[in-house]
Structure 1
Amino acid sequence: MNAESKIYIAGHRGMVGSAILRNLQNKGFSNFVLKTSKELDLRNQQQVSDFFRTEKPDYVFLAAAKVGGINANNVYRADFLYENLMIQNNVLHSAFENKVTKLMFLGSSCIYPKLAPQPLKEEYLLSGYLEDTNEPYAIAKIAGIKLCESYRRQYGANFISVMPTNLYGQNDNYNLNNSHVLPALIRKFHEAKENNLPFVEMWGTGSPMREFLHADDMADACVYLMQNYEGSQHVNIGTGVDLTIKDLALLIQKIVGYKGEIKHDLSKPDGTPRKLMDVSFLHKLGWKHSIELEAGIKSVYEDFKKKENVKVW
């Protein structure tokens, strides 16, 4: 990529897409083609085909997806599978047809088997059963990885895939019906503090272990790999460090300043026992995260409070 390259970021208003946009702008890139979901429905094959034929982007970051937490993934199973397959298929095929110079597909760590050895190496893909609660989303993302591989092997298309760990950051989703655990806990602790509630309820036992990467670090890794990586192997992106959900809750409780109790709703699922990414391949490629978890959550909480003032979830 250079300053003149035409760059399309699918999902530029989401947490990851907006972070990629900021990162590129800070590095001097300015030739972007950006469409909201109302302007371009990526589930619609004809709309996507017309868009690529008209705009002819050089580089594509495919960060658009239907996403949500454990509850949303489990309840809206057909929606998550169908819509993500449509988005991926349409964008990847049109990128191929219009000879895009390079495309990056963003997946998810949930592609790995539920009981895969830890930390999760790239080669563990398709080596066992998936976690049931997010299986439809995972299957869609696996299909995206394999579609990128197949266009590369059959046609020589320069399509690469990256698999981020759990992400958090600016423009995160704080809707308790479909948010991920970290933003959900920020909102719960904040509202409990503001309303002087005696306790905060969290799902499950708190024992599962999770790794968290700031979206700004994720974006920096994506831009780095877009400029420096040409391989067919998908690349894990993470910190290589994890903690229990209970310890995450205690950290957020401290940052928010909430003094009450934490109660566990044991009727709710825990999900996968552990999901830690092996990032040795990424480190060998020359990139490492720079935002540590406590500092990252502090910055995100400040962003949340600005949104809270205008009730933007």
Structure 2
Amino acid sequence: MSEVKAARYGKDNVRVYKVHKDEKTGVQTVVEMTVCVLLEGEIDTSYTKADNSVIVATDSIKNTIYILAKQHPVTPPELFGSILGTHFIEKYKHIHAAHAHIVTHRWARMDVDGKPHPHSFVRDSEEKRNVQVDVVEGQGIDISSSLSKLTVLKSTNSQFWGFLRDEYTTLKETWDRILSTDVDAAWQWKRFSGLDEVRSAVPQFDTTWSAAREITLKTFAEDNSASVQNTMYKMAEQILARQPLVETVDYSLPNKHYFEIDLSWHKDLQNTGKNAEVYAPQSDPNGLIKCSVGRSSKPKL
């Protein structure tokens, strides 16, 4: 005898572009997103009994995304994801949870002759702003915001020494190295009771995203890093201090290596240690460091 233990389905990779036109100033603002919506509920019979009557067609889910994008603001994405999820659990009585994942693709306004252009944009990096919104009937709305593909590098002020050494260790200690990574940072908001409470928090979403990005870049640049682990912890604790509605902060940082090249074989050309200028960027293998930082439950002494 078997049964469905868990099931969800929906529409993935829905590409959405929306433009806001300010008729008074002529300034336009664009948003491009990739949206995924998955539904849960009383849908087991569609799997076990071939009963399609409980299925909201994935094409209908796609159409709903477009219609709601027309009828409602799509920024901040935390709000739009909450609007999507709330719609599905209120529209269909047998759907009890809706999960929206939104990736916002970066478009930066062009500067032309030193002035922001009213309707022209440039994709200056592959950086993305992401949200995961989970709306569960009778429980509330859980939101995780994140930024990803923020590629950074600094040419000095990174160290790595004092690590465990044994018979498997060949890595040399260093007090000055290149540090580069693709930042993936996420912050989990406290649970919201419903859409109205999300709406009341709207000003917090953009400011917190901007603050998290600023903290990440500033700490990366200014910290004389003892390790990726220590630097990411400093980033996370600052975000928690900045936004009391955030419960946890997660970082995932691949350590993108740049290796010195020994060129002494060519006419004693010195290119290691303090003389290193030419490096070989490495694609793999790479270090991968992760952490989740939350508020301490220990009372202050």
- Is TM-score (shorter-chain normalized) higher than 0.5? no
Which of 1 and 2 has greater Rg? 2
Q: TM-score, normalised by structure 2?
A: 0.28
More strand as a share of residues: 2
More helix as a share of residues: 1
